[in-house]
Amino acid sequence: MKFIFILIVLLFLLFLLINFSPLIGAKKISTELKEAEPIYLSGKTLFISDLHLKNLSQIDIQFDVDNLIIVGDFFHSPKYFSKFGKDKEEIFKRVLEKLISANSSTNVYYILCRDATHDPHLSEFDFKFDNVNFRCLGTKGHFVLEELHIFAIHGDQINRTGVMACAISYFSKLLGKPLILERFWKNLAKIDKDYWLITGHSHIPAIDYENKIANCGSWVGVPLINFLLRIPTKTGILFKEKEIKLIKY
């Protein structure tokens, strides 16, 4: 019995070590963010994440914003991504025609998850159709909006599994300490306290004005048990003029 207990503890510690191993690269990612050429934005800017698209029928909202930043897990898997069209340009055109209002001139920026578990593996690229400018930025983005610096990562740079991130974030929010993982990562990475950090991954929407951290939440909640947890879905972080807020559609 003692041996089994020790084995269980060791396996649990190994799981934690593997799950939080991305933290080792926090300072490297921080340096890359600071050295990246910032993207200057103006106007109404919305951050969303974790749509986990499998088909076009999931898109039931059209956005009318100047800038839309999708912070990872746009698609549910590379397999589903490939079903939207014959190549990446056709795929994104079909998806964005549903996602962006026809009357809106919008810049869309796509940030990928780190391990390509949900998002497809894509190199940085951009293209334009109609009034939409689209850019795939890789796994991180540095934006400047009306003198506000905003760093955006999906969040699997903090821990690998969304289930673990969801559980920790859900209970820490219940205890009045939201965004505990993001606050830890921001401090570990030594991100300037005046810079905003925007993430997704955990599916738990929250905003912390004091520490300038926000999580976009998700479009799907937590499958199978969301009716128990009652986690808000279809949420995002909106920057409009000098107002920053967590919104629900």
245 Cβ contact partners less than 8 Å away, ≥ 6 residues apart: 207, 237, 238
Fold classification of 25-248 (topology level): Purple Acid Phosphatase; chain A, domain 2 (3.60.21)
Return the domain boundaries, the chain: 25-248
Sign of the Cα pseudo-torsion (188, 110, 39, 63, in order): negative
Collapsed DSSP state (helix, strand, coil) of residue 23: helix
Q: What distance in Å separates the CA atoms of residue 130 and residue 145, rounded to the nearest whole number?
A: 24
pTM (predicted TM-score): 0.94
pLDDT tens digit at each of 249 positions of the chain: 677 767 676 676 777 778 888 889 898 998 998 888 999 999 999 999 999 999 999 999 999 999 999 999 999 999 999 999 999 999 999 999 999 998 899 999 999 998 878 999 999 999 999 899 999 999 999 999 988 999 999 999 999 888 899 999 999 999 999 999 999 999 999 999 999 999 999 999 999 999 999 999 999 998 778 878 889 999 999 999 889 999 999
